[in-house]
Amino acid sequence: MLDVIQKQLLEEVADLHEVPAGAYNIRANGEMASRNTTANIDIVTKTDGKSGIDIKIKDGTKNESVHIPVVLSQSGIKEMVYNDFYIGDNCDVTIVAGCGIHNSGSKDSEHDGIHRFFVGKNSKVRYVEKHYGSGEGEGKRILNPVTEVYQKENSYVDMEMVQIKGVDSTIRETKAELEKGATLIVHERLMTHGNQSATSIYTVELNGEDSSTDVISRSVAKDTSEQIFEASIVGNNKCNGHAECDAIIMDKAHVVAIPKLDAKNIDAALIHEAAIGKIAGDQLIKLMSLGLTEHEAEEQIINGFLR
Amino acid sequence: MLELKNVTYKVTENNIDKTIIDGLDLTVEDGKFIVITGPNGGGKSTLARTIMGINKITSGNIILDGEDITEKSITERAKAGISFAFQQPVVFKGIKVLDLLRLAAGTKISVTEACEYLSKVGLCAKEYINREVNSSLSGGELKRIEIATVIARHTKISIFDEPEAGIDLWSFNNLIQVFENIRKTINGTVIIISHQERIINIADEIVVIKDGKVATRGTKEEIYPELVKSSSITGAGCSKLIEEGPVVC
């Protein structure tokens, strides 16, 4: 059974107050805590020696969800988990992943997850991944997710990647390959504070005709934290690609945005936009003129920005 | 009552001191609807910003209901009962119209209440309540939302800095109706910085600011003929506006 801290972590990363409806696999401190499968969604433990699960979603599965949250509450755990999602054709599903680390000890806790998505033709997938860290220990909370997405014809994947609080170090690598007519949308929301560092590297290969992607990152870097955002879009066919990095820099933080557009076809239309700046003074003044203190105004602006 | 006593505001540009407001005295009685007008560059908007505390005065005193608020911050003045509608409404990312109205009201007002404020400024509420206060809104829409945030605060003093600036004629025509409505319903002092004849027309009192000082002040009947003669207002065109009916949602 999950303890109180683990339940809190679950609430943060998966909005779960209790056992979710539908299929789920909850992993706590390196072991499976509970699992449920449905007629259409099967979850099986890997048998090739690697730690992790295979999630198999049958063709035509609609309006179903899978929750696979991970919680670490024991200081000093380091794990590498391989999760593979096999999504059939003509599906419409929501997948909620996420990792919460509570580290009140002196040893580092680290969860490295490799998620691979094989998305069938005409399928629609909404994927939500939230990261959260808590605990006052000196030990670091480290998360290094790797996400690979392979999209078949006319599939649509919408990914929401959120890391708002408490994770000391993250290197997120996301790679995607899209076939004809496929679309990948990524919304990343990130806030770093203290000495935290976060790196996000996206590489999207638009291989099929009329494939498209929109990678949007909004981030806030506070204190002495450091963020690196690298978005690379490769247009190998007639396609549309757009990447956007919008960052608020505060205190003594450091933010780097590295755009890369690589067009190999005359009909590849690729755009990159990047903006880094402090909170606009007139935004603060407006909210202060409504009676908010400067600190409250800052909070409201950041909350809105990261919504 | 709001009193400005010997208020001076100077800026330094290219190492040269420039006096924008020059020892200005002004008393505004409670419940009045005052229009401050005058030539461009005369210091009107700066004056409005000094009352809100956005621009800190160089010398002098600002007194609200007997309390000296000269050293008070924007937040403290806002809490003391002053509201300010910006000439250029501020845009945000992610903050919705409803959020901004709730921040303005100071409580988590219901959607219905928020919609009422929007209706007061002639916006069809349901279309706007969940929109972000960003640059996808037109200048006229932003202006009205800005005015709605001031109405939602219900403060003793509401200052509007050139509400007509940067909006098209159609929006302007509606805006006049908004201010006529404010004139009828608001409980408090209204100070509008404006060049517009039709806004000046609904004022209890007109204050003309020129060269950083009060050049003259009085009722519309007293001041208006002088203004027209000196061409210091720009009412051109607005009397030709076609009257519009009320906004129908």
Q: Phi/psi of residue A195, each to 5°? A: -100, 20
- Say whether residue B85 is in contact with chain A using an 8 A CB cutoff: no
The chain B residue lying nearest A304, using CA atoms, is B94
What pLDDT was estimated at residue B76? 97
What pLDDT was estimated at residue B233? 47
H or E element, residue A287: helix A281-288
What pLDDT was estimated at residue B230? 67
Q: Are B64 and B81 in contact (CB under 8 A)?
A: yes
Rounded mean pLDDT for each run of 10 residues along chain A, 307 residues in total:
79 74 89 92 93 96 93 88 96 92 87 94 95 86 94 98 88 97 97 94 98 96 96 98 96 96 98 95 97 96 93
In a domain, A173, yes or no: yes
Tokens of A153: 């014809």
Between the two ends of chain A, the Cα-to-Cα distance in Å is 33
Residue B42, C-beta contacts closer than 8 angstroms, at least 6 positions apart: B209, B210, B211, B212
B3-40 pLDDT, tens digit per residue, is 999 999 999 988 999 999 999 999 999 999 999 999 88
Choose among A282, A291, A304: nearest Cβ to B93. A304
Tokens of A285: 């003044």
Least Cα separation, residue A1 to chain B (angstroms): 38
Residue B227, C-beta contacts closer than 8 angstroms, at least 6 positions apart: B37, B200, B206, B208, B233
Would you say residue B236 has pLDDT above 50? Answer: no
Residues of A in contact with B153 (CB under 8 A): 290-291
- Say whether residue B149 is in contact with chain A using an 8 A CB cutoff: yes
- Say whether residue B160 is in contact with chain A using an 8 A CB cutoff: no
B192-215 pLDDT, tens digit per residue, is 999 888 888 889 999 999 999 999
In a domain, A112, yes or no: no
* Domain ranges, residue A265: 168-307
B55-110 pLDDT, tens digit per residue, is 999 999 999 999 999 999 999 999 999 999 999 999 999 999 999 999 999 999 99
Q: Is B226 exposed, middle or buried (0-12, 13-18, 19+ CB in 10 A)?
A: middle
In a domain, A193, yes or no: yes
User: Residue with structure tokens 């998360």?
Assistant: A143
Rounded distance between C-alpha atoms, residue A23 and residue A43, angstroms = 8
* pTM to 2 decimal places: 0.86
In a domain, A267, yes or no: yes
Domain tally, chain A: 1
In a domain, A13, yes or no: no
What pLDDT was estimated at residue A279? 96
In a domain, A296, yes or no: yes
Would you say residue B169 has pLDDT above 80? Answer: no
Judge: A290–B73 Cβ closer than 8 Å, yes or no: no
Tokens of B73: 């911050």
In a domain, A218, yes or no: yes
Would you say residue B168 has pLDDT above 80? Answer: no
Would you say residue B237 has pLDDT above 70? Answer: no
Provide the ipTM: 0.90
Residues of A in contact with B95 (CB under 8 A): 300-301, 304
- Say whether residue A216 is in contact with chain B using an 8 A CB cutoff: no
- Say whether residue A218 is in contact with chain B using an 8 A CB cutoff: yes
- Say whether residue A285 is in contact with chain B using an 8 A CB cutoff: yes
Chain B interface test: which of A289, A293, A294, A295 (most B C-beta within 10 Å) = A289
pLDDT > 70: percent of chain B: 92
Instruction: Look at residues A126, A145, A229 and name the one whose alpha carbon lies nearest to residue A183.
Output: A126
Which sign, positive or negative, has the C-alpha torsion B74, B79, B82, B84?
A: positive
In a domain, A94, yes or no: no
